[in-house]
């Protein structure tokens, strides 16, 4: 197999740069594997490692700093047959740390080559996430205050099934790269090398010193052994193939007559846990079952199981424009939280409006007609008050009919839940 190196764009690294050796080692690995350019994509990060893609006749994607793994993940999941190789420096490792960790956890079949030369070569030799504290770098004293990261151990702890640490000058580099690329899953190779343009101008570092330091680090094989598992894409496709095709949005055909004159504006005021939103949906489905347009605008805080829950509902023969409610036909007040939320609205209600309030819920002075229902006396529990209030309204023919409500229940629920809700409605209606 011929070299995949781009003859018209030879490497342009500083003389003696470790990266250039990695370019040739990668080419050897790819050619020995018999990979063609069109089967391979090199995704490169920013900095000197970001030049890699230009030296190869493969597919290429050069993107933003630290984000190379994000593109690689998208490429691999959209085209599982592609060999995806990412090159990144110790800069990309630091800035894209969250992506490195998540890629380890995810185990997508992508190979990450970390071209680790302990500093930011392109911007002036500043310290990176791997700079030793004793090094003299372009960031003044700052690197003395930070501990360098051993990405090998971090990646292993994050779940990477294959992690290697190797010197650029190790004769086994092409072989190691080949093993990483062939591996079915995420493989990370931490490749230590010399940056003659910046780092070794002020720091002593030789291939032998790199070798010695690598030998002092704990081996990674034992740490990654427990991470062996199915590749993400394969697992994803397997899981997805078991999923049922989703049903299209249900269509509600008009099946009953609406209440004259058609337009109804109802505000449900309650608290979390009172199934206000579900009751609102039922009211709207009831409207749709009578051929009416409906809107449901909800207001609740981001807290769950606590706080107010307000649902504003409009039924109309015409399409609804404004979805807010300023002058409701009906208000259902089931909890102090909801009442507090719409106090101003309650204070200005017209005499034509009816408030259906749960016993014990204090209302501000109002000109509206107030009907108090003691749900507890009906042995109805708080989560069912909203649907019970709808049943009350349906019985009174106020905004909806029982037929509309029954239609909505059948659209929304089935089985034992339907029976349970129907029983609540029955209890209110039978009164």
Partner 1 sequence: MGFAFLEGNEAIAWGAMRAGCSFFAGYPITPATTILNTMLRLLPPAGGVCLQGEDEIASIGFCLGAAMAGAKAMTATSGPGISLYSEQISFAIGSEIPLVVVDVQRLGPSTGSATKGADGDIQFLRWGNSGGLPVIVLAPVDVKDCYTLTVQAFNLAETYRCPVFLAANKEISMTRETVDLESLALPEVVERRAAAGDRPFLPFDGSQGPVPPFLPIGGKRLVRQTSSTHGPDGYITTDPDQIAASQKRLAEKVCAGLEDFTYYDLQTAAGAETLVIAYGITARAARSAVRALEAAGEPVSLLTLKTLWPVPEDLLVAKARPYRRVVVAEMNLGQYAREIQRLLPGHEMAVYGQMNGELITPRRIMEVIRHG
**Site residues for partner 1 per CB under 8 A:** 9, 37-38, 41, 43, 53-54, 57-64, 67, 69-79, 81-82, 98-99, 101-102, 236, 239-240, 243-246, 249-254, 281, 284-285, 287-288, 292-302, 320-324, 326
Closest by alpha carbon to 84, among 209, 218, 185, 205? 185
Residue 215 makes CB contacts below 8 A (sequence gap 6+) with none
Q: How far is it, in rounded angstroms, from Cα 136 to Cα 320? A: 69
Minimum distance, C-beta of residue 327 to partner 1, in the bound complex (Å): 10
Minimum distance, C-beta of residue 225 to partner 1, in the bound complex (Å): 25
Nearer to partner 1, 182 or 411 (CB): 411
Q: How far is it, in rounded angstroms, from Cα 129 to Cα 362? A: 60
Nearer to partner 1, 58 or 227 (CB): 58
Partnered with residue 191 across adjacent β-strands are 115, 166
Burial class (CB in 10 A: 0-12, 13-18, 19+), 307: middle
Minimum distance, C-beta of residue 301 to partner 1, in the bound complex (Å): 6
Nearer to partner 1, 231 or 281 (CB): 281
Minimum distance, C-beta of residue 73 to partner 1, in the bound complex (Å): 5
Angle at 207 between CA 12 and CA 165, to 5 degrees: 90
The token pair at 97 is 């740390």
Q: What three-state secondary structure class fits 372?
A: strand
Nearer to partner 1, 267 or 428 (CB): 267
Minimum distance, C-beta of residue 277 to partner 1, in the bound complex (Å): 9
Nearer to partner 1, 203 or 295 (CB): 295
Upstream peptide bond of 261 is cis (omega within 30 degrees of 0): yes
Minimum distance, C-beta of residue 82 to partner 1, in the bound complex (Å): 5
Nearer to partner 1, 125 or 233 (CB): 233
Q: What three-state secondary structure class fits 29?
A: helix
């Amino acid at each position: 197999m011929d070299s995949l190196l781009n003859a018209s764009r030879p490497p342009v690294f500083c003389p003696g740069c470790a990266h250039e050796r990695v370019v040739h080692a990668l080419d050897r690995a790819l050619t020995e594997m018999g990979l063609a350019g069109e089967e391979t994509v090199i995704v490169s990060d920013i900095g000197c490692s970001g030049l890699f893609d230009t030296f190869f006749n493969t597919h290429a994607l050069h993107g933003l700093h630290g984000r190379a793994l994000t593109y690689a993940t998208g490429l691999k999941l959209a085209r599982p047959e592609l060999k995806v190789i990412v090159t990144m420096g110790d800069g990309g490792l630091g800035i894209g740390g969250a992506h490195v960790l998540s890629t380890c956890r995810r185990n997508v079949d992508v190979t990450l080559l970390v071209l680790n030369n302990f500093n930011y070569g392109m911007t002036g030799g500043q310290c990176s996430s791997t700079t030793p504290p004793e090094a003299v770098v372009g960031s003044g004293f700052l690197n003395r205050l930070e501990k360098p990261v051993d990405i090998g151990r971090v990646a292993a702890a994050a779940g990477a099934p294959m992690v290697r640490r190797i010197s650029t000058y190790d004769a086994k580099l092409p072989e190691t790269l080949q093993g990483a690329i062939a591996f079915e899953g995420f493989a990370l190779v931490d490749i230590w090398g010399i940056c003659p343009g910046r780092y070794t101008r002020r720091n002593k570092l030789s291939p032998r010193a790199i070798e010695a330091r690598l030998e002092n680090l704990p081996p990674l094989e034992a740490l990654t052994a427990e991470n062996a598992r199915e590749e993400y894409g394969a697992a994803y496709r397997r899981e997805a193939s078991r999923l049922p095709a989703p049903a299209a949005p249900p269509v509600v055909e008009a099946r009953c007559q609406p209440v004259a004159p058609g337009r109804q504006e109802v505000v449900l005021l309650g608290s979390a846990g009172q199934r206000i939103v579900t009751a609102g949906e039922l009211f709207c489905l009831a409207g749709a079952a009578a051929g009416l347009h409906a809107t449901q605008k909800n207001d609740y805080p981001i807290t769950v199981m606590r706080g107010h829950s307000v649902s504003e509902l409009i039924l109309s023969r015409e399409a609804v424009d404004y979805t807010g409610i300023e002058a409701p036909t009906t208000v259902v007040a089931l909890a102090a939280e909801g009442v507090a939320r719409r106090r101003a609205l309650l204070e200005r209600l017209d005499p034509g409006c009816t408030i259906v309030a749960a016993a014990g819920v204090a209302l501000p002075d109002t000109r509206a007609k107030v009907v108090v229902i003691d749900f507890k006396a009906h042995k109805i529990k708080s989560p069912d008050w909203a649907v019970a209030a709808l049943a009350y309204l349906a019985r009174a023919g106020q905004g909806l009919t029982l037929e509309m409500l029954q239609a909505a229940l059948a659209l929304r629920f089935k089985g034992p839940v339907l029976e349970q809700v129907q029983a609540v409605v029955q209890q209110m209606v039978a009164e």
